[in-house]
Structure 1
Amino acid sequence: MLKWDGHTHTQFCYHGSDAPIEQYVERAIALGFQRYSVTEHPSLPIGWVNDRKLFDELGMPEHELEQYFQYVMNIKKKYEKEIEIVIGLELDYLHGRQDYTDQLVAKWGHVLEEVIYSVHYLPAADGNYCVDFTSDDLKQNLLAYYGSMEKLVDVYFDHIELTIQQAGKLPMNARIGHINLIRKFQKQLPPLNEAQFQARLERLLPLLQTNGVGVDVNVAGFRVTSCEQEYVPEWFIKKCVQLDLPVVYGSDAHKPEQVGLFWDWYEQIVSSK
């Protein structure tokens, strides 16, 4: 099995660590990884969320994209004899602003080798809100707007389905990011309907096949005390493997010490019959 961390961040992430990429990559090398994808959050449309301080932390400013790509290309060259570096981004599904993403991909597609495509935002009464900022923010601005967890979860998975369709149109490899991110605050939310999650996840399988989109087996939920669970359930991973859908481990590291965490858990699942 190729030892590959397919979802990582850098000092260009304003809600992560300011440690240089080299520290992340050198940890990956020390842990025996053979491939390492750098998938930073790009810029967002101005005013995408109403909170300006939060907005400034969600993605790098647009003018930094060129610097980011050049830096990762230099890292790719620097470590080419030790590990394969893949140049990527973690794109967001921007409901109603697909034009922004299309322009970004058109401008940087010549250097962009792969994409994690994620749902972090859902629309509410007065704008877009994060599903993964704080539990209080989610309750006050999304749960209150949609009226129930069942409705909120359905809207979230509706957006996941739209994201898969958009990801399938990209000219580079794409994976759907942390499919169950809506569970990040599950210990602080009203009870979740497990049958609903099962049904909505099963609906994704043929859609992933049809669009040729892979799955980011994101383990960051293990690190979150309000979740303490992987963002892609074991049964779903095994089903993807059976269907020959691409599955790639993702540490979602926002600090160097998070690179490679829970790899053994992932390896055991995808290796088991």
Structure 2
Amino acid sequence: MLKQDSHIHTPFCPHGSLDSFHSYIEKAIKKGFDSITFTEHAPLPPSFRDPTPDQDSAMKLTDLEDYLTVLDQLKKEYKGQLIVKTGLEVDYIKEYQEETSAFLDCYGPELDDGILSVHFLPAGDHYICLDFDEHAFQQLIRIYGSIERVYQSYYEQVHSSILSSLGDFKPKRIGHITLVRKFNQLFPYNMSSELCQMVALCIEETAKKGMSLDFNTSGLRKTYARSIYLDNWMIELAKKKKIPLIFGSDAHQAEDVGYAYDQFEDIMRFM
């Protein structure tokens, strides 16, 4: 089995580091990886307004061609040393599916891989980036009325993303399925049986659609998460359903490439 890190960000990320592509790649080679996929945040739908203060959730459309060109060059440069794949992490925003589908129709043929993620939740007449910081998450709790309702909204969006018709180039992997738990140490919540059933349904639909799940270790680096973005019972259910679990460090700086890969190996070996 190839040792791969399939969720890595780049200097094109407006909210990441300016570490060079080469530094990410050299770190991956040093750690013994065979393959990496750069999955920069895809440009948001043109009519969607990024709700973060600096509007820096994703790369700009004007930067996309440069991103693709750089990766084409790197594939050639590191041929024989490391498999470099071109990917994007695409935001699923239910009301903007048509624009997302049009984007994928245009740029999908140039991609080797992709992740479909939920970062934004509807909040009245606007959206909030649920993982931006603890204050944004607290605002969601106030608007929705409870932590449980925030979780419910998140998993409704995840379920919708799995079932969505985004065309032939829809990403085949669901990103960080428990991202909503990023601030769990501050806002502790044990999911109700109803919510666990919602997550189980998401996993079952993932299997039916022939999709995979992002085994995302970045939560271990987050002060208020302290866990992989997949609960053990979800991993067990995914393995039972024969859903591929794809390791992703979600690195936003070169140092984090391959982060906690040993835990991924242990879980895959023993669960």
| Both proteins in one fold, TM over 0.5 | yes
Cα distance change, pair 179–73 in 1 and its aligned pair in 2 (3 A): same
| Alignment correspondent of 1:36 | 36
2:58 partner letter: G
Residues 1:6 and 1:197: Cα distance change in structure 2 (over 3 Å): farther
In structure 2, the partner of 1:212 is 210
Between 1:200-209 and 1:21-30, the stretch displaced more is 200-209
Question: 2 CA distance for matches of 1:225 and 1:173?
Answer: 29
Could you list the runs of 5+ residues in structure 2 that have no partner in the other structure?
A: none
Aligned residue runs from structure 1 range 47-62, under 5 A: 48-49=48-49, 51=51, 53-55=53-55, 57-62=56-61
Change (3 A) 1:32 1:190: closer
1:126 Cα shift?
2.9
Q: 1:145 to 1:3 in 2, by over 3 A?
A: same
Q: Distance in 2 between matches of 1:69 and 1:167?
A: 25
Equivalent residue in structure 1 for 2:266, among 258, 265, 268: 268
Is residue 172 of structure 2 the alignment partner of residue 181 of structure 1? no
Cα distance change on mapping 1:93 and 1:25 into 2, 3 Å = same
Q: 1:131-166, CA deviations, whole angstroms, 9 ceiling, x for partnerless residues?
A: 1001111212x2111111111111110100111123
Instruction: Give a deviation string over 1:48-107, Cα, whole Å, max 9, x none.
Output: 34647431x111111111111111111111111111111100000012111221121111
Partner of 2:130: 131
Q: 1:87-166, aligned counterparts within 5 Å?
A: 87-140=86-139, 142-166=140-164
- What is the alpha-carbon distance in structure 2 between the residues aligned to residue 125 and residue 257 of structure 1? 39
Structure 1 unaligned regions, length at least 5: none
Q: Residue 52 and residue 172 in structure 1: after superposition, are their counterparts in 2 closer, same or farther (change >3 A)? A: closer
Q: Distance in 2 between matches of 1:33 and 1:196?
A: 39
**Deviations 1:228-267, CA, capped at 9 Å, x for gaps:** 0110112322332232211100000000000011100000
How many correspondences in the alignment?
A: 271
State the match for 1:75 in structure 2: 74
The structure-2 alpha-carbon separation of the partners of 1:170 and 1:238, relative to structure 1 and needing over 3 Å to count, comes to farther
Superposed displacement of residue 186, structure 1: 0.9
SS of the aligned residue for 1:80 comes to: coil
Correspondence list, 1:237-252, <5 A: 237-252=235-250
Q: Is the 8 A contact 2:11 2:18 kept in 1?
A: yes
| 8 Å contact kept, 1:114–1:172 | no
CA contact (8 A) 2:50 2:57 kept: no
Q: Distance in 1 between matches of 2:137 and 2:120?
A: 10
Residues 70-79 or 162-171, more deviating: 162-171
Matched letter for residue 126 of structure 1:
D
Q: Are residues 1:6 and 2:31 paired?
A: no
- Cα distance change, pair 72–167 in 1 and its aligned pair in 2 (3 A): farther
Counterpart contact for 1:7–1:37, Cα < 8 Å? yes
Asked if structure 2 preserves the Cα contact closer than 8 Å seen for 1:36 and 1:85, the reply is yes
Distance in 1 between residues matched to 2:261 and 2:59, nearest whole Å: 28
Is the 8 Å Cα contact of residues 215 and 246 (structure 1) preserved in structure 2?
A: yes
Aligned amino acid, residue 109 of structure 1: G
How many Å separate the matches in 2 of 1:201 and 1:248?
Answer: 18
What is the rounded CA distance, in whole Å, between the counterparts of 2:240 and 2:50 in structure 1? 43
Deviations 1:32-54 (A, max 9, x none): 11110110001113563464743
1:83 and 1:167 mapped to 2: Cα distance? Answer: 33
Instruction: Report the Cα offset of residue 190 of structure 1.
Output: 4.8
Aligned to 2:230: 232
In structure 1, how many angstroms separate the alpha carbons of the residues matched to 2:183 and 2:101? 31
C-alpha separation in 1, matches of 2:242 and 2:52: 42
Q: TM-score, normalised by structure 1?
A: 0.93
Query: What is the percent sequence identity of the aligned residues?
Result: 33
Would you say the 8 A contact 2:52–2:132 is kept in 1? no
The 2-side partners of 1:214 and 1:48 are apart by 27
Structure 2 CA distance for partners of 1:49 and 1:134, relative to 1, 3 Å: farther
Q: Give yes or no for contact 2:43–2:61 (8 Å, CA) kept in 1.
A: yes
